Amino acid sequence: MAAVISRRLLDGERVGVGVNSAIPTAAVLLARATHAPNLRLRLPGRPEGELFLGSKEFFDMAQRGKIDVFFLSGVQIDRRARINLHVLGDYARPRRRFAGAFGSAVLYPLIPRVILFRAEHSPRTLVESVDFVTAAGTPDCLVTPKALLTFGDGELELAAYSPGESVDSVREATGWPLRVRGDVRETPAPSAEELGILRGSVRAATA
Amino acid sequence: MDLLAPAEAAARISDGATVALGRPPALGLVRELIRQGRRDLDLVGVPTGDIAIELLIAAGCARSVHSSGVDLGEHGQAPAFARAVETGALRVTDSTCPALLMALQAGASGIPWTPVPGLIGSDLMTRRPDIRIFEGLALVPALTPEFALVHARRADPQGNAVIETAYDDRLLIQAARTVIMSVAEVRPGAVDTLTRGEQVVPAAYVDVLTVVPYEDRAAATAGYLESIAVHVR
């Protein structure tokens, strides 16, 4: 997943990484060590990041259009790429309650390139319709262990499947009848160089 | 500015009060509230809730939480929070970080509400009747919490204090009606020299200052994540 995300980042982009985003953090560091040395990393609300005065300074930058890329996830993500970070079941009396929106309800509609990620690709995580719309927007893509889904014509579509997967296996693991792009292909496996960097400098920097 | 013992500082807060919690959490004061059996607190997590809110919920001190999320950072979900919402024991006002911070900014500036971009399209809008829409923009009411509980690294005897730059406590301190601040130490000249990641809050904002016991000082000065880890373990 880190390699797939890394390859989508462009040199010189201003990339924000929020909390609970270990895979995107690895992807950003990998991109910097390979094709995007001038990528600018913005970490809100963390002492080890930029010397922002509070996370508000980061959000203000985003609101002014000074952040190009941000990463979001969801307990559920649906066909229309809406994310749910709040509840399973009814909001007023949920079966399961999760943490909440964090910055997503403002950032998703505002950030030009949102990359969604979800470490579990299954019918319970990728659903026809989320139980609660924490945030909605037009993402660049969704990256999972099984596939890369891009957004076109109002919904997520299969653009590439991971080595070991197939169009059918990905469709089976998805909670709606997944549309398949005409140019669908297999994702190139992480190269020896990418793996070396992930297991070397990236691991050292994020441990 | 009053310099009080932690128990006296916490006693300023009565049952049913609205208490906003900053970061790193003022855990000495939080434990004092729990020890004193405070009930029906309306908590505000700025901009999200962490171990402080989780402990207050677990101890039965809270009746509601207003925040952009409650979790324990890299330690994952906040179980007492989740359980309390699932059983209907806790009322939640859900927000999103930029909206909550802009609401505090409005409160700090003495204006009744603020426009916030984004938000439209989120179901949060249907769950927050207090947020209106004007010309396609959400209007979020100002926040001026009755109390802010914050922790500073050090302060001088006048109450000028040094806090971290990474979090949003400065805004919370400006917006709150009463600021209760715990500090690791009080000494003359405490704000004269700053290191990387530090900023000064003027004494004009600080109503109550209290020096926390040693174990909290150790946790708080080691850093925010470490202070959570100390309590999660």
Judge: A99–B88 Cβ closer than 8 Å, yes or no. Answer: no
CATH of the domain at B193: 3.40.1080.10
Q: Tell me how many domains chain B contains.
A: 1
For residue A49, pLDDT over 70 is answered with: no
Average pLDDT over residues B191-195: 96
**Count of beta carbons in the 10 Å neighbourhood of residue A144:** 24
Specify the pLDDT at position A45.
65
Assembly ipTM: 0.93
Q: Do A106 and B166 touch (CB under 8 A)?
A: no
Chain B positions touching A88 (Cβ under 8 A) are none
Nearest chain B residue to A46 by CA distance is B166
Does pLDDT of B218 surpass 50? no
Domain range for B60 is 2-232
A9-37, pLDDT tens digit by residue? 999 999 999 888 889 999 999 999 999 99
Give the mean pLDDT of A110-128: 98
Query: Average pLDDT in the A110-115 region?
Result: 97
Domain that holds residue A38: 2-206
Token pair for B62: 């809270």
pLDDT at B226 over 70: no
Binning pLDDT at 50, 70 and 90, where does residue B217 land? very low
- Asked if pLDDT for residue B220 goes beyond 60, the answer is no
**CATH number of the domain encompassing residue A11:** 3.40.1080.10
- Is the Cβ of A93 closer than 8 Å to some Cβ of chain B? yes
Q: Could you tell me if B119 lies within 8 Å of chain A, comparing CB atoms?
A: yes
B95-106: per-residue pLDDT in tens? Answer: 999 999 999 999
H helix or E strand, kind and range, residue A77: strand A76-78
Summarised one tens digit per residue, pLDDT across range B5-60 is 999 999 999 999 999 999 999 999 999 999 999 999 999 999 999 999 999 999 99
Residue of B nearest to A22 (CA): B74
pTM: 0.93
Give the tokens for residue A123: 């019918």
Count how many domains chain A has: 1
Which residue in A93, A106, A108 has the most chain B C-beta atoms within 10 A of its own C-beta, making it the best mutation to test that interface? A106
What is residue B227's predicted lDDT score, i.e. its pLDDT? 53
pLDDT of residue A20: 82
Mean pLDDT of all residues belonging to chain B: 92
Q: CA dihedral defined by A63, A68, A73, A78, rounded to 10 degrees?
A: 90
